[in-house]
Amino acid sequence: MTPHVVISDAKSTTVDHDLQRDILERYGAKAKSTITRTEDALLEELGDVAGLIVDAGVPVTARVLENAPSLEVVGRAGIGVDNVDLEAAADLGVTVVHNPTYSIDEVATHALSLLLACVRRVPTYDRQTRSKGWDWAEGQPVRRLQGSTIGFLGFGKIPRRLATMIQGFGCELLAHDPYLTENVVRTHNVELVGFEELLSRVDFLSIHVPYTDETEAMIDADALATMSDDAVLVNTARGPVVDTESLVVALEAGAIDFAGLDVTDPEPLPDDHPLLGLENAVVTPHVGWYSEASREQLSEEIAEDVGRVLIGETPRNEVTTDTQWV
């Protein structure tokens, strides 16, 4: 019997659906594409489906898994799996795979781009020039990057790549990651510090932790108050790690200087959300993962891993509740 696979995105086409269908056919599976954003919509698509490929916005909850008795494998097209109930999947014998390496360079580059845009006031100057202005003082004060302190909240593969990129700027580098040893961090010329110390010492904070119960709203009003009023915050990890309401208040009050966000909570932001009206915030639509090369790699490798599970082979990138995020 031919196994069926549903490829479902919450928005448009995170993965290349045509490429994935071709790959899955080589594994003897037949695939169809759909857009789903809710449990009910997803359940309508599953039926006797054996494989499911989703992006970050498709809720693969315990309810979904319990009502998909033929489901053997869920492929999360990306790194984070916070939208997949891993415990329920394990209880039901459903294999979950992801791709932990496809966009390391892209996300690190995007984080650096947001950081530099904030430091150099690129959004401010761009808006001014488009409004027929030409005044260097419009972005005051602009600080020199050299000699500043950059901190990483979480120090897995992406921030390690980012730390390598930043080495030439002449900055002090700090990191907080309770799951790493000091020796690992020191090999990247980064000092391992506690959470409070990180916040109090940094000029620029780049967030790189997964979204878990432990990290939800980790950057809240108290954390923001610990940072200096000229600090810059960059988030390319997950939106709920930062308490959005507290961030807006801090930016409006000048309690921190600037924010560069590729992820938000909620996501996408409503048209009238206050973040979109702030002059000291730059927001991009969760595109840090994207390049043509990363999209092709993601599409291929997720489809191949789903195909492996369907023919009884061991997947290359299985993720479980015990997976270490490093």
- Is 286 an active-site residue? yes
What are the phi and psi torsion angles at 280 (to 5°)?
Answer: -105, 35
Query: Which residue in 267, 273, 296, 318 is the catalytic one?
Result: 267
Question: Could you tell me which residues are beta bridge partners of residue 33?
Answer: 7
Query: Which residue in 4, 176, 238, 308 is the catalytic one?
Result: 238
- Is 316 an active-site residue? no
DSSP 1-32: ---EEEEEESSS-SS-HHHHHHHHHHTT-EEE
* Cα separation, 184 vs 15, whole angstroms: 33
The stretches of 75-220 forming alpha helices (DSSP H) are 86-92, 104-119, 122-130, 157-166, 182-186, 195-201
Query: Which residue in 286, 295, 301, 304 is the catalytic one?
Result: 286
The two beta strands, 51-54 and 30-35, are unpaired
Which regions of the chain does DSSP assign to beta strands (E)?
4-9, 30-35, 51-54, 73-76, 95-97, 149-153, 172-176, 191-192, 204-207, 232-235, 258-261, 281-283
* Cα separation, 263 vs 272, whole angstroms: 17
Burial (CB < 10 A; 0-12, 13-18, 19+), residue 170, is exposed
Task: Please check whether residue 318 is in contact with residue 99, taking contact to mean a CB–CB distance below 8 angstroms.
Answer: no
Tokens representing 297?
Answer: 């790699």
What are the phi and psi torsion angles at 153 (to 5°)?
Answer: -90, 105
CA 17 to chain centre: 21
- Is 267 an active-site residue? yes
Catalytic positions, written as ranges: 238, 267, 286
